[in-house]
Structure 1
């Protein structure tokens, strides 16, 4: 069966590249957005999540090396621990609240970072008709060096109007 997803583009926001009032308020945080075109717009969210998990661009340990087809890790977790059932459908407001609390954890972010977060995170989240939060994994699902992130937030945004699925990961090093 043909995958309903094709990788379109990616972006990376490194908080260290912005000027915070406090020199360490960046806290080594970052956001990675991977966008995929919906080749089969009628595919259900569960099928889209399964296709995403099986996609080579999902195989990313977020340790600086990028995605690799033979990678067995995803973030702090073993890839085999992540299934469509480990995602919980949440409202846009709930997703935005989690990400806003994370972004503002050490105080207000600089204006230029706020503009970039709005463009890369909050606007796509507000447009999504399906928001899925990775919550069904935990310490038992860590890989050999899993758990290095203080916080690891992952959302999958389905925007059928624009024909896009966005994988959003917000974490720290």
Structure 2
């Protein structure tokens, strides 16, 4: 399912991990072009990619470009500077905190979370967390998603970027 989202990144697909009836984590994999030499450059390309512009409002939202929305935020409110570097432990903790809401996941979901999400985050050398741009950066339908978490992992050696988004809808 490789495709070009107009940024130079190659979109290689996604995985949807349902935590329960309302909470989810979605991973999207991208291949970095050889010209990318810094995580900041990788983030810049990600922000320009059509596959980034996903409002996560429906199970098939990854199939189209929302143009102006990303999660609960307006795309024009997100810049490379909106991301802060975080440790693997901090990135994993943010995702685990989402999973632990409302009493935590079932044992089966906890195993899937560990195998399919937290291992991907732990294995990456570079982690970036999107900071909330505040009320001015939210779009009119932002109330649909709560507890939005976004982590981007960048591996320049392996030429891989993984976008990890979690929320409660």
Relative to the length of structure 1, the TM-score reads: 0.85
Aligned to 1:107: 103
Identify the match of residue 78 of structure 1 among 66, 74, 80. 74
Alignment equivalent of 1:46, drawn from 40, 55, 63: 40
1:16-165 aligned within 5 A: 16=20, 26=21, 28-40=22-34, 42-64=36-58, 65-67=60-62, 68-69=64-65, 71-165=67-161
Report which of the two structures shows the higher radius of gyration computed on alpha carbons.
1
Q: Does the 8 A contact of 2:74 with 2:137 survive in 1?
A: yes
After TM superposition, give the deviation of residue 154 of structure 1 in Å.
Answer: 0.3
The question of whether the paired residues in 2 share the 8 Å contact of 1:78 and 1:141 is answered with: yes
Give the CA deviation at 1:41.
6.8
Gaps of 5+ in 2: 1-5
Structure 1 SS opposite 2:51: helix
Q: Is the 8 A contact 1:95 1:125 kept in 2?
A: yes
Matched residue, 1:172 = 168
Q: What's 1:12 paired with?
A: 16
Question: What TM-score results when the alignment is normalised by the length of structure 2?
Answer: 0.87
1-structure distance, mates of 2:81, 2:132: 7
The total of aligned residue pairs comes to 162
Q: In structure 2, what is the Cα distance between the partners aligned to 1:42 and 1:63?
A: 31
> What CA distance in whole angstroms lies between the structure 1 residues aligned with 2:108 and 2:93?
20
Kindly indicate whether the alpha-carbon contact (under 8 Å) linking 1:150 and 1:171 is maintained by their aligned counterparts in 2.
yes
Q: CA RMSD in A?
A: 1.8
Instruction: For structure 1, list consecutive stretches of 5 or more residues without a partner in the other structure.
Output: 17-25
